[in-house]
Amino acid sequence: MSNINFDELYQQLQTNVISIAKASFQSYFDQAKSDGELALENMKENLQTWTAEVQNGSLTTDDLAFLLKGEEGLNEMLALKQAGLAEVQIDRFKQAIINLVVGTVTSLIKV
């Protein structure tokens, strides 16, 4: 099993969060992009730790998804809330980011 280059992983996540923001919120792209990037930045340190733990087997992908759901940075989404988007739309965006992170980490580790 090869080691994951976290910087490359993080860059890939940033690019894909922007794609999700664009696909999910065309009219509110700037707010979604801002919230998505901020969420990633706020959880970057934990994400690096959790990625290593998934890679070494001390954390499952289900554990990773659970931890991501509790991430404060992911739960804020202030720009989208200020734009008046419904909570259900914001929740779908958050879930898409969680799925992105788990899927990306899993694909790199081959869990």
Output the pLDDT for position 4: 83
Structure tokens at 26: 């065309």
**Selection from 40, 58, 66, 54 nearest residue 4 by Cα:** 54
Q: Within its chain, how far is the Cα of 2 from the centroid?
A: 22
pTM for the model: 0.86
**Max Cα–Cα distance, the chain, nearest Å:** 45
- pLDDT 10s digits, 11-65: 999 999 999 999 988 889 999 999 999 999 999 999 999 999 999 999 999 999 9
Position 12 scores a pLDDT of: 95
Chain centre distance of CA 12: 11
